[in-house]
Structure 1
Amino acid sequence: MCSKLIFVAALVAAVVAHPEDTPGYGYSAPAASPGQYDFNYAVKDDYSSNDFGHQEARDGYNTQGSYYVLLPDGRLQKVAYTVNGDSGFVAEVSYEGEAQYPEYKPSYNPAPSYA
């Protein structure tokens, strides 16, 4: 019975002396500051016809960037975009080249069937 009383008293003391209630203790999050960065990458692989890349720069709430990709029809799709504060994502899409659709030629030749 005495050990239960000591346990309850220790629990009450821990709750009462919680560090969040004491000034000077606890965690306060640092003030949020807008980011600043610049990055880019590009991939061009002639063997597999992969050609794509991305570039973006941010200074505060102003973001500008672009990306491009070689489409399966042979055109290059480019997207240039900006984001400034609460204005949202504003994109301009453009294409280079003309779509090519080569004639389909199946490579499978079934063996003759003898019934």
Structure 2
Amino acid sequence: MAFKLVVFVALVAAVRAGVPYGYSAPVAHVAAPVAYAAPVARAYIAEPHAPAHYDFGYAVNDPLTGDSKSQHEVRRGDVVQGSYSLIDSDGTKRTVNYAADPHNGFNAVVHKEPLAVAVKAVAPVARIAAPFHGYAAPALHANYY
């Protein structure tokens, strides 16, 4: 029942809002037509299609970690040629030469070669122990929560 009362009061308030002060006759209001904007057709100007041409290459040789790899690739239009090499976990160097074109598709040739490992002879080193003074530095502990 309270809902009906609220709706009735809102309706009366809406009607009274359209009536000028001191004028008792109802004023007819006609809703203005809703403006509709048609979607704007966008004309995209196609850029002339130029075939891709690039040369790309990189190399990594880190003696500290032993990471050694390289790649080089050349593209002229739809023809791609390149190669990459890396050191596999078994100690061999893998080199892959590849080519791709619309007529032959993708072709790759893999070569594996063992790496030449130089063994250095190390002379024994005499080690002298530092004198022990009976003091150990306190250990640092990190607490993670």
Q: Give the TM-score band, short-chain normalised.
A: 0.5 to 0.7
1:2 alignment partner in structure 2: 31
Structure number with the bigger relative contact order (C-alpha 8 A, sep ≥ 6) is 1
Which residue matches 1:60? 77
Instruction: Provide the alpha-carbon RMSD of the alignment.
Output: 2.0
Which residue in the other structure is 1:27 paired with? Answer: 44
Q: Displaced runs of 4+ in structure 1, greater than 6 A?
A: none
Q: Tell me how many residue pairs correspond in the alignment.
A: 87
Identity of aligned residues (%): 33
User: Whole-Å Cα distance in 1 between the matches of residues 81 and 101 of structure 2?
Assistant: 8
Task: Select the structure of larger CA radius of gyration.
Answer: 2
Deviation, 1:62, is 1.2
- Conserved 8 A contact 1:19-1:26: no
Which blocks of at least 5 consecutive residues in structure 1 are unaligned? 99-115
SS at match of 2:44: coil
Report the TM-score, using the length of structure 2 for normalisation.
0.54
Listed as ranges, the matches of 1:56-95 within 5 Å are 56-95=73-112
- AA partner of residue 96 (structure 1): E
Q: Which has the larger share of strand?
A: 1
Q: CA deviation at 1:86?
A: 4.4
C-alpha separation in 1, matches of 2:76 and 2:113: 30
Tell me the alpha carbon deviations over residues 1-46 of structure 1, each in whole angstroms, 9 at most, x when there is no partner. Answer: 423x1x2xx20xx22xx442xxxx5113324322000010000111
